[in-house]
Amino acid sequence: MMTARRMSIGSRFAVDSGLLLLENYKVDAAIFTSRHGELEKTGRILHNLANEEPVSPTEFSMSVHNTAAGWLTITGKKPLPVTSLAAGHDSFQQGILEAQSMLSAGASRVMLVDFDGQIPAIYNESVNSEFLPYAVAIILTAGNTLQCERVSMPGEHQIVPLAQSLQFLRGYLSSSPSFEVNAGNRHGWQWSRDMQCENLN
């Protein structure tokens, strides 16, 4: 409980999701992706600095982008190789590419955790926080079940209604043999799958 109280809501969701998978699967590495990371904590830090108020050392140390990844290895007692990525709307898909490179290099299973937490009110005009906070954790293995290619989406910058991992999860759990994940910046990702196989848990 002490550990959970020190985490932001987003990190708590991410760590809980990751720990649930680690109870059932042995993984060789973990990847954490997040568009905003610890914006909840950094927002408070920036507010304190702007008002010339003291900054909590604990809050400062927990404000880095790989906080959730660190908490997972500590609380789960799993000394895993861990990567933390941020690529805007495209963070989840870049995590998929990172996982693919790890699997190609010999990893058997890679856990990918995509998450975001609460967004400070000052960012409401620029961030769609309707579906925040959330966390999605999946195990990826090498195979031919899923294929993905980048597709162009003509037009102006598009508003992404759901985080990429939630779009992916909705598509994957549907009965459709193909689905699209929007990146919001004039391109998207077209996914297709072999309905005979299962390589995603």
pLDDT tens track for 61-96 = 666 777 888 888 888 888 899 999 999 889 999 999
Domain that holds residue 131: 2-143
Phi-psi label, residue 76: left if phi above 0, alpha if psi -120 to 50, beta otherwise: alpha
The vertex-45 CA angle with 42 and 50, nearest 5°, equals: 125
CA distance 19 to 12: 10
Question: Quick check: 201 pLDDT over 50?
Answer: no
Strands 29-33 and 82-85: parallel
User: Would you state the pLDDT for residue 145?
Assistant: 87
Residue 39 falls within a domain, yes or no?
A: yes
Q: Domain count for the chain, please give it.
A: 1
User: Would you state the pLDDT for residue 196?
Assistant: 57
Residue 73 falls within a domain, yes or no?
A: yes
Residue 126 falls within a domain, yes or no?
A: yes
One-letter amino acid of 51: N
Q: Record the tokens describing residue 133, joined without a space.
A: 């906070």
Residue 14 falls within a domain, yes or no?
A: yes
Give the rounded distance of the alpha carbon of 124 from its chain centre: 20
**How many other C-beta atoms lie within 10 A of the C-beta of residue 137?**
24
Residue 54 falls within a domain, yes or no?
A: yes
Residue 173 falls within a domain, yes or no?
A: no
Residue 23 falls within a domain, yes or no?
A: yes
CA distance 53 to 132: 28
Residue 51 falls within a domain, yes or no?
A: yes
**How many other C-beta atoms lie within 10 A of the C-beta of residue 91?**
24
* Partners of 139 in the β-ladder: 111
The vertex-181 CA angle with 175 and 182, nearest 5°, equals: 145
Band (pLDDT 50/70/90 cuts) for residue 199 is very low
pLDDT in tens, 125-169: 777 666 778 999 999 999 888 899 998 876 655 666 788 999 999
Q: What is the CATH number of the domain that holds 13?
A: 3.40.47.10
Q: Record the tokens describing residue 187, joined without a space.
A: 């391109």
Question: Quick check: 59 pLDDT over 70?
Answer: no
